[in-house]
Structure 1
Amino acid sequence: MSDASEGTPAPQAARPTRRIDARSLRGLAHPLRMSIFELLGLDGPATATGLAERLGESTGTVSWHLRHLAEHGFIEEETGRGTKRERWWRRTGVTNELNTADFRDDPDTRGALSVYLHELVQLYFSRVITYVGEDWDDRWRGAGTLADWSDLRLTPDQLAALNAELMAVVARHTPDPGAEPGPDALPVVVQLQSFPRKERVTG
């Protein structure tokens, strides 16, 4: 999910942060709710009808999940817009921080954590597949990248330091709230997955 991560969260200027607890994790850890939360983060406020059309679900089902997300503080109604029958929803202005170590020893939330992480990886994968399948001009194709590095050997502290440096780079390129983007600017997604790999002995 764009603002909840397994490790150190990306720095966010002037935004309050809340640490996801067991109750809110269970409220978010559902494939459809995570997809709704994702769309509201990427494309801004939307109605249940609009989200239902994009997700191929009924409006009633999406409305139920929207209320559930609101109950757990992930989204809120956009007041002054829409009608009693057609409400607009947006993400709250809070950075959600998830630390998996908080839940690994808790059997009551281990299942929700597993659902959340697997769905999060699927959302990341779907973003890349969408990008690969779309038609982009040469400028954007040349600017984007799909890369991996598998020849590093690091300690846990070194891996944490690497992640902190990478997130600091992203933060330096993140415009201040309210700043006007350039005339040819488009939304850009930066995805980072860095993790240890169990060593396999070949022979």
Structure 2
Amino acid sequence: MKEQPWQHQVHLTDPRALRAYAHPTRMRLVGLLRQEGPFTATRAAELTGESVASCSYHLRILAKYGLVEEADPGGAGREKPWRATAAYTDWPNYSPDPAVASAAEALNAAVAENQLHRMMRALETRHTLPEEWQRAERHSDAMLYLTPEELVALGERLDAMVAEYADRGYHPELRPEGARRVAYMHVAYVAPDGRDGDPRGEHA
């Protein structure tokens, strides 16, 4: 059975932690540790294509802010194994502190760029998927008129449905035959005034 992180999520509020996590290599290392960990800096270099020294440095920065930790305190140097401290990372959607708000916005932008990059890579190879997977994938959007309270409630409902499948990430025995890793994103933001020329139309 795959080792499960100790916490459900780690909550970042320190602006320094938010900016540290916004680095693409660090985000990738945390994601890989959640999927493949624990592993050493040497293994991290094999998975990312970065140097061992670079991975070791980034892992130490992540440990400083509580995102990863040593899996074996007795390990030595670059061969000591690291593990993620939580299954998910969370940070404020809003903060009255300008430093926190600015760092959170920078992290949001980095995450969005990373997600878009991964989605484009998936689209490039989509034609190689079996027909049932191509039909099952979803690429859709909608323009809704909601109050802040309704948007929060909608997000909570979606979170609850996604949570029904979350344990499969750390318990392979729960995965039905034919299951594959699926990146599922749901994003909601207040649309800017005016029309952006969405090719799918307002009610796609």
1:34 aligned residue: 27
Shift of the alpha carbon at 1:107? 3.3
* Secondary structure of the corresponding residue to residue 79 of structure 1: coil
Which structure is richer in relative contact order (CA contacts within 8 A, separation 6 or more)?
1
- Aligned residue runs from structure 1 range 20-169, under 5 A: 20-22=12-14, 23-79=16-72, 84-93=77-86, 95-102=88-95, 105-134=96-125, 135-150=128-143, 152-169=144-161
1:194 aligned residue: 188
Aligned residues: 186
1:171 aligned residue: 163
Listed as ranges, the gaps of 5+ residues in structure 1 are 1-13
Are 1:25 and 1:112, in contact at CA under 8 Å, matched by a contact in 2? yes
Q: 1:85 to 1:34 in 2, by over 3 A?
A: closer
Shift of the alpha carbon at 1:30? 2.2
* Secondary structure of the corresponding residue to residue 100 of structure 1: coil
% of aligned pairs identical? 30
Q: 1:78 to 1:137 in 2, by over 3 A?
A: same
In 1, Cα distance between equivalents of 2:161 and 2:54: 40
1:31-53 deviations in Å (ceiling 9; x for gaps): 32222222223443333233324
1:182 aligned residue: 176
Shift of the alpha carbon at 1:63? 0.7
1:142-201 deviations in Å (ceiling 9; x for gaps): 222111112x11111111111111111112333466453223222222111111112227
* Secondary structure of the corresponding residue to residue 72 of structure 2: strand
1:75-95 deviations in Å (ceiling 9; x for gaps): 112228976542222211364
What is the TM-score when the length of structure 1 is the normalising length?
Answer: 0.77
Shift of the alpha carbon at 1:130? 2.2
What is the TM-score when the length of structure 2 is the normalising length?
Answer: 0.76
Shift of the alpha carbon at 1:112? 2.5
Are 2:66 and 2:85, in contact at CA under 8 Å, matched by a contact in 1? yes
Are 1:34 and 1:119, in contact at CA under 8 Å, matched by a contact in 2? no
In 2, Cα distance between equivalents of 1:192 and 1:57: 30
Please report the RMSD computed on the Cα atoms of aligned residues, expressed in angstroms: 2.8
Listed as ranges, the gaps of 5+ residues in structure 2 are 1-5, 197-204
Are 1:30 and 1:115, in contact at CA under 8 Å, matched by a contact in 2? no
Of 113-122 and 27-36, the range deviating more from structure 2: 27-36
Are 1:31 and 1:119, in contact at CA under 8 Å, matched by a contact in 2? yes
Of 181-190 and 93-102, the range deviating more from structure 2: 93-102
Q: 1:96 to 1:78 in 2, by over 3 A?
A: same
In 2, Cα distance between equivalents of 1:126 and 1:81: 37
Are 1:46 and 1:88, in contact at CA under 8 Å, matched by a contact in 2? yes
